[in-house]
Amino acid sequence: MGQLLSLQDFVQPRGGARKQARPTYFTRSELNALLSVYSRRVSSGEWRDYAIDHHAGTAIFSIFRHTHERPLFAVAKRVGGSAKSGEYLLFSQGQRLARGRTLGEVLKTFERKLRVV
């Protein structure tokens, strides 16, 4: 069974207290990839809304079925430490579903039919 994580688990910079990190943002190509997957699911009626959050060292693309609910999925871009490019994570209801060095690796998860249980 997967490990339950909270939003704070992947927003906080690694290694405890460090100097204040700058906000992380998705690049244009990353946003194009995210919105491409998102638009396909919107057209099929599965998803209805999204939100983008920027924190120190982390950018999060959250996907919602309904505006007033918790996100179904959250794609996080985490930058920091020795890895310049960082890593990408996919979460659903506090569980990590995928992790990869590139956004494409993580978005491949959506090619399979995912359902929230």
pLDDT tens, position by position, 40-92: 999 989 899 999 999 888 999 999 998 788 999 999 999 875 555 689 999 99
Within-domain flag for 5:
no
Backbone angles phi, psi at 63, to 5 degrees: -120, 135
Within-domain flag for 86:
yes
- Counted domains in the chain: 1
Q: Which domain holds residue 28?
A: 22-111
Within-domain flag for 88:
yes
Within-domain flag for 43:
yes
Within-domain flag for 101:
yes
Token pair for 69: 């609910």
Total-model pTM: 0.75
Within-domain flag for 50:
yes
Within-domain flag for 15:
no
What Cα–Cα distance (Å) separates residue 85 from each residue in 10, 97, 113? 16, 20, 28
Query: Of the candidates 96, 108, 105, 104, which has an alpha carbon nearest to the alpha carbon of residue 29?
Result: 104
Within-domain flag for 11:
no
